[in-house]
Chain A
Amino acid sequence: MSLYQVQKLIYQLNRDPRTRQRYADERDAVLGDYDLTQEEIGALAKPDIGLLYVLGVNGQLLMHFAALHRIEWTDYLERMRQGLKEYGPVREGVYAATGYEGVEAHDARLKAERETR
């Protein structure tokens, strides 16, 4: 596993316009600059947000990598959920899923609570 290398590449992409341009122009060469497994290269190149999430990429890096690929917020969350179904629990890091009713159900509960105040 080389999660650190995956995250380092995403960090550079998120903050450096020149790395972004180079990634757009010659992606394989940029990927070759990092010590990555084939699974990680595949996940980055696709991009497979669900697999990157399960590999343990920090959400503060991953959500911007998703935005870079014009993946909308709700779609980003759904891709992570699909990743959990397809690849199993998060393998590293502190961004594991812990279970949640979802925003819509949560909003409805809060609205009901406000009305009974």
Chain B
Amino acid sequence: MPLVYCGACSHAPGITGRAERADTQTRQALETAFRRMGDEMRATRPDALVVIAAEHFANFFMNNMPAFAIGMADSYEGPIEDEAFLRIRRTTVPGNKALSRRLIETVMQTVDVAYAEEWKFDHGISVPLHFLTPDYDLPIVPANINCQGPPLAPLARAWAFGEALRRAVDAVPERIALIGTGGLSHWPATPDSGKINHEWDREFLRRWSANDREALLSYTDAEIYREAGQGGFEIRTFIAAAAAAGGATGRIDFCEPVPIFAVSCTLGSFELPPAQQNTPSS
């Protein structure tokens, strides 16, 4: 069944952990946009949601760091962070091991992805789910791109991973939604936390919503580090989502810099063909 929903959003821990410290109007608008994204995603009646995240040493460390990984379990626990820090209650989120396995087998035809039968969600997945599926009633297939411990996979490989996921999703009978989660320019967890290059973000999102592969892949890591900080390496998740959209163009539903959240809070989705969204399952 072709992909029924494809989007991307921020996952910054401050969005929940430091919520009250943001401008009230901006925060409320962000939360409304998040809920609307969840409504739109669920309206496509997905059987599962693939979340391409940039995890932060919850599961993988530099002793054995996969460039790409996909979870393969019937349930996942998260968030791993201190509940008082993230202000999201730790819970068990449903997965679908058999579906994960079928997706992984197709992805492996073109991308050497690692699989993980254990996976603890961190804010990269838990913050988006807190808004998008607050009842945790949709099975999740977690996917990860290493954006933390250089050397990092080249952007072109993140694109290839997104394409491989799309081929895998199209090959299963289930209705699958997919989101990428990450920050654009940001310098998180440093003394510069709050610094945002909003102009850089807007240009990135222009390329992303146009689904301009060549322009998206033209950034170098040196340029990203200089202009968008080490947090900018997470654009890999947005790029993978763009690749999974299969040439569809995107729409930016929200993009506002929120310094106390350390990012331009961003939500966007791709305009998949309507016939694809509305085709009944099985």
Contacts and interface: CB of A to CB of B under 8 A. Distances in A.
A93 to B, nearest CB: 9
Contact of A60 (B17, B148, B259): B148
B48 to A, nearest CB: 25
Contact of B189 (A62, A81, A102, A110): A62
Contact of B188 (A4, A7, A53, A59): A59
B85 A64 contact: yes
Contacts of B82: 64, 67-68
B85 to A, nearest CB: 4
A97 B192 contact: yes
Contacts of A64: 81-82, 85
B57 interface: yes
A99 B192 contact: yes
Contact of B191 (A15, A61, A100, A110): A100
B190 A80 contact: yes
A43 interface: no
B260 A100 contact: no
- Report which residue of B17, B56, B189, B193 has the largest number of chain A beta carbons within 10 angstroms of its beta carbon: B189
Nearest to A82: B191
Nearest to A102: B194
Contact of A107 (B17, B80, B187, B260): B260
Contacts of A11: 57, 61
B175 interface: no
Contacts of B229: 98
Interface string B47-85: 000000000111101110000000000000000111011
Interface string B96-126: 0000000000000000000000001000000
A106 interface: yes
Contact of A98 (B149, B188, B192): B192
Interface residues of B, number: 35
Question: What secondary structure prevails in chain A residues at the interface with B?
Answer: helix
A97 B187 CA distance: 8
A45 interface: no
A95 B188 CA distance: 8
B248 to A, nearest CB: 30
B254 interface: no
B56 A60 contact: yes
A19 interface: no
A23 B257 CA distance: 39
Contact of B195 (A58, A67, A98): A98
Interface of B: 17-18, 23, 56-59, 61-63, 80-82, 84-85, 120, 148-150, 187-196, 225, 229-230, 257, 259-260
Interface of A: 4, 7-8, 11, 14-15, 53, 58-64, 67-68, 73, 77, 80-81, 84, 94-103, 106-107, 110-111
A-B pairs, top 10 by smallest CB distance, nearest first, are A59-B189, A60-B56, A100-B192, A103-B194, A100-B195, A94-B230, A67-B85, A63-B189, A103-B259, A106-B259
20 contacts: A8-B61, A8-B62, A11-B57, A14-B58, A15-B59, A59-B188, A59-B190, A59-B230, A60-B56, A64-B82, A67-B81, A67-B82, A68-B82, A94-B225, A94-B230, A95-B189, A97-B191, A98-B192, A103-B259, A107-B260
